[in-house]
Amino acid sequence: MEYTILILLLPFLSFLLIGLLDSRLKPGAAGTFGTVVTGIVAALSYWTAFSYFGGGRNAEGLFPTMIPWNAEWLPFGGNLHIDLGILLDPISVMMLVVISTVSFMVHIYSFGYMKGERGFQRYYAFLSLFTMSMLGLVVATNIFQMYIFWELVGVSSYLLIGFYYTKKEAIAASKKAFIVTRFADLGFLIGILIYGFYTGSFSFTPDSAVIGSAKVFLPIALGLMFIGGAGKSAMFPLHIWLPDAMEGPTPVSALIHAATMVVAGVYLVARMFPLFIGYAPEVLHITAYVGAFTALYAAVVACVQSDIKRVLAFSTISQIGFMIVSLGVCTSADPHEGGLGYMASMFHLFTHAMFKALLFLGAGCIIHAVHSNEMSAMGGLRKYMPVTHITFLVACLAIAGIWPLSGFFSKDEILAACFGFSPVMGWVMTFIAGLTAFYMFRLYYCIFWGKENKELHAEHTPHEAPLTMTIPLIFLAVVTLFAGWIPFGEFVSSNGQAYHIHIDWAVAATSLCVAAAGIAIATWMYLREDRKVADGLAAKFSGLHKAAYHRFYIDEIYQFVTHRIIFACISTPIAWFDRHVVDGFMNMLAWLSNQCSWLIKGMQSGNVQKYGIWFLGGALGLTVILLLI
């Protein structure tokens, strides 16, 4: 399967070509090229998945882990070396399919969405760069390669969030995203270094004899790595960058900030899962609590946002919380004995990527039609945009967890895993699932039903998006409709053995009821043109409403801590010291260098006799010094 290297090389070449030619390439040519390349990559990924899973299990009942391509890049001696290569195992192959599918859809969609934008070529170049980095991240053969691509993903996300670089908010958002995730990545890097130091390798599966000697440092290293993952996956309190990242073009939000990059943290934990479960189960459970709190927090905030992309952003944070919880509640590697969460998490990652991308792309169509992100500009859009309406509804039903859509199946497994861990966790997550149904349908009704903003729509009649944009919607909607029936456990499970998914109808019935209740409340509150109940509640609990609308002032707390405490009390004095003492010393050195260079200027007189004297004098002087020492 050596051809898998092409999956990385093709998007990279496409990035180089489009990026270097830039405006010398016609926008259409750049877009077509990027899209065709991504299409080939998607085809290759499917073929890889087909032949990998089609290759069957080995004697131990596992899908063999394959490294079809590997190069030792930086040897440090011993087992410690950094490799660049391609690793195929069930989760990486699954991720290849997810990433290339969503990326391909986004490439097509962007034709319509970005039409006529300045920097169309640049946009496609960055998309290619992102695709390459994300694919490289999932097929990494070792933790360091993962880190390299991890950073590349961060950079491409930064570039794409700041795509509209003349817009102040976009610049601020891109910086925020970069700094926050970079800050978290510091934890990741330290974790990798500790890991490398104590296990003597960067491999995902180090020698078990060596691990024993790492003792307490292995959990520490894994915990630090999780901080990196929490940054990328927007876990509380490092989630603050994701809502702002919505300043980027909407297809980018769909690709990076919904389907692929933000689940990198989940993927990281899944990748390190054998180590977590074997040597640091406490750390794994901590991640579950972090994930659960994040899921709850983000769901509450999502209930009151008025910007549709922000609602989706918080919903993404909440759903990633679900995936992390699901991994975190695992208590063993056996899916029958408390290891169900691993499979559930990966399954949810897969289904979520599809329906969340669909939601974002749908939101993109709406924004394209009404030229605003605010719900107040929408309402009653169902008659103008039938395709968007139906596909959006499908995605909303899926995320709410309604049978037989894909979200139902994956969420059911997650809830089953949570109940297996502890009833409290199970009920909390069920409640959040209900909240999810509520806020998604609030969003749906506010966009497509409810009170229409007639003035705005008269001025500029909303229209259905062009085919390039609706085809990806339809495709993803079809996937969302049927993905739940994939026997996912046959491919991915915590110990690699085939796991036959069976629906736990007690859990399923509860979650269905809760979801239906959520939808019903949303219908009751938001379906009609006047929203007496909703407005009344908002007025009654105005304090809570305001706090939730302002995301519980987390950003303000950050502002306070960074500006008032760190900048004012630590950075300013250090800056003074730097300006006056460090720079002063350096300036003195510079001044001294300058003076010295004037002093010795005479040496270079241009007079060859004098050169001879220096030459001989130097030789004799050196001899004398050597004799004296």
Stretch that binds another protein, among 249-257, 349-357, 529-537, 587-595 (CB under 8 A): 587-595
Beta bridge partners of 82: 74
Answer yes or no whether residue 562 interacts with another protein by CB under 8 A: no
Q: Which of 386/617 has CB closer to another protein?
A: 617
Given 74, 112, 432, 487, the residue binding another protein (CB under 8 A): 74
Please report, as a single letter, which amino acid is at residue 467: L
For residue 375, the Cα-to-chain-centroid distance in whole angstroms is 26
Q: Could you tell me the smallest distance in angstroms from the CB atom of residue 98 to another protein?
A: 30
Looking at beta carbons only, is 485 or 611 nearer to another protein? Answer: 611
CB of 207 to another protein, least distance (A): 24
Per CB under 8 A, 59 contacts another protein: no
Q: Is 208 in the site for another protein (CB under 8 A)?
A: no
Cβ contacts of residue 381 below 8 Å, gap of 6+? 366, 369, 370, 388, 389, 447, 448, 452, 462
Q: Specify the residue, 189 or 428, whose C-beta has the smaller distance to another protein.
A: 189
Comparing CB distances to another protein, the nearer of 5 and 97 is 5
Nearest CB to another protein, comparing residues 541 and 615: 615
- 612 near another protein, judged by CB under 8 A: yes
| The Cα angle at residue 9 between residues 78 and 26, in degrees rounded to 5 | 150
Least gap, CB of 73 to another protein (angstroms): 6
E strand or H helix at 378, and its extent? none
Find the binder of another protein among 3, 8, 72, 560 (CB under 8 A). Answer: 72
Stretch that binds another protein, among 225-233, 297-305, 571-579, 600-608 (CB under 8 A): 600-608
584/617 with CB nearer another protein: 617
Does position 24 interact with another protein (CB under 8 A)? The reply is no
Binding to another protein by residue 58, rule CB under 8 A? no
CB of 78 to another protein, least distance (A): 15
Distance CA 592, CA 596 (A): 6
The three-state DSSP-derived secondary structure of 203-245 is ECCCCHHHHHHHCCHHHHHHHHHHHHHHHHCCCCCCCCHHHHH
Q: What amino acid occupies position 362?
A: G
Cβ 139 to another protein shortest distance, Å: 20
On whether the CB atoms of residues 242 and 313 are closer than 8 A, the answer is yes
Residue 602 touches another protein, criterion: CB under 8 A: no
Cβ count near 393 (within 10 Å):
16
Peptide bond into 249 cis (omega under 30): no
The two tokens of residue 135 are: 């694919």
Q: Give the shortest CB-593-to-another protein separation in angstroms.
A: 6
**Which range in 263-271, 392-400, 443-451, 602-610 contacts another protein by CB under 8 A?**
602-610
Note whether 619 binds another protein by CB under 8 A: yes
Q: Does 78 bind another protein (CB under 8 A)?
A: no
Does 9 bind another protein (CB under 8 A)? Our answer is no
Query: Helices in 114-263 by DSSP H: which ranges?
Result: 120-138, 143-161, 168-199, 208-214, 217-232, 241-244, 250-254
Binding status of residue 594 toward another protein by CB under 8 A: yes
Please report whether residue 376 would count as binding another protein according to CB under 8 A.
no
User: Does 20 contact another protein by CB under 8 A?
Assistant: no
In terms of Cα–Cα distance, which of 263, 229, 234 is closest to 351?
Answer: 263
560 binds another protein (CB under 8 A): no
Distance CA 572, CA 585 (A): 19
Minimum CB distance to another protein, residue 359 (Å): 39
Q: What are phi and psi of 26, to 5 degrees?
A: -70, 145
Whose tokens are 């456990």? That residue is 489
Residue 332: CB atoms within 10 Å: 15
Interacting residues with another protein (CB under 8 A): 72-75, 590, 593-594, 596-597, 600-601, 603-604, 606, 608, 610-612, 614-619, 622-623, 625-627, 629
